[in-house]
């Protein structure tokens, strides 16, 4: 596991242990090809952060700030080590807290929210459903869920909508954005007729 591009390119990252599932270099490369310039100057939230690989990649590529939320002690230790190794700790905030408690308490807005929870517990869907009821995403912000393809199901979201999916072996990346205002206002006006 390493940083692929930016100021910390090539730095090897310490893994977080058995409790987490790191993103492969192939999936991470594709993720950042899709996100492109959106990461530059972005405020990033890395939920179930593991070793912090995705959040650190955003910082290396020019994100303004990244918040890493994780409960596992080994993973937290790996995040701190990896931030020191990459010399990116000055733009990072590491929080040891339950993800759901954090997202219900934070007052910040994020340009990118990355969700990569432990597999097969439905946590990705619970997280997306919770985010859907909160106002944490900037107008053009993106939520990306990293799951196993077998975990995917359609979610009945009211504020967020799926706009892209990419599969890389046993990793499925699901991209969500705010529902377009024009679509919601068109629905409202047609129902008023």
| Cross-strand pairs, 173 | 146, 166
Residues of the chain with pLDDT under 50: 182-193
Residue range 54-106, pLDDT digits in tens: 999 999 999 999 999 999 999 999 999 999 999 999 999 999 999 999 999 99
Question: How many separate helices (H) and strands (E) can be counted in the chain?
Answer: 6, 7
Q: Which CATH architecture has domain 25-192?
A: 3-Layer(aba) Sandwich (3.40)
CA–CA distance, 123 with 120 (Å, rounded to integer): 8
CA–CA distance, 127 with 155 (Å, rounded to integer): 11
* Domain assignments of the chain as residue spans, ordered by start: 25-192
pLDDT for position 181: 63
pLDDT for position 50: 93
pLDDT for position 193: 42
pLDDT for position 190: 44
pLDDT for position 24: 85
CA–CA distance, 138 with 154 (Å, rounded to integer): 23
The answer to whether the beta carbons of residues 155 and 128 sit under 8 Å apart is yes
CA–CA distance, 147 with 136 (Å, rounded to integer): 21
């Amino acid at each position: 596991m390493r940083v692929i591009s930016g100021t910390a390119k090539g730095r090897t990252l310490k893994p977080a242990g058995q409790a987490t599932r790191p993103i492969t270099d192939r999936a991470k490369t594709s993720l950042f090809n899709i996100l492109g310039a959106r990461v530059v100057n972005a405020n990033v939230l890395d939920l179930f952060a593991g070793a912090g690989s995705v959040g650190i990649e955003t910082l290396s590529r020019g994100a303004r700030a990244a918040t890493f939320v994780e409960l596992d002690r080994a993973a937290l230790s790996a995040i701190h080590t990896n931030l020191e190794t990459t010399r990116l700790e000055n733009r990072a905030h590491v929080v040891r807290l339950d993800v759901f408690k954090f997202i219900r308490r934070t007052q910040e807005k994020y340009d990118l929210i990355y969700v990569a929870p432990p597999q097969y517990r439905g946590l990705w869907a619970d997280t997306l459903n919770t985010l859907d009821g909160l106002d944490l995403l900037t107008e053009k912000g993106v939520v990306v869920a990293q799951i196993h393809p077998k975990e995917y199901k359609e979610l009945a979201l009211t504020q967020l909508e799926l706009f892209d999916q990419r599969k890389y072996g046993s990793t499925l990346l699901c991209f969500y954005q705010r529902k377009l205002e024009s679509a919601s206002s068109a629905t409202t006006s047609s129902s008023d007729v």
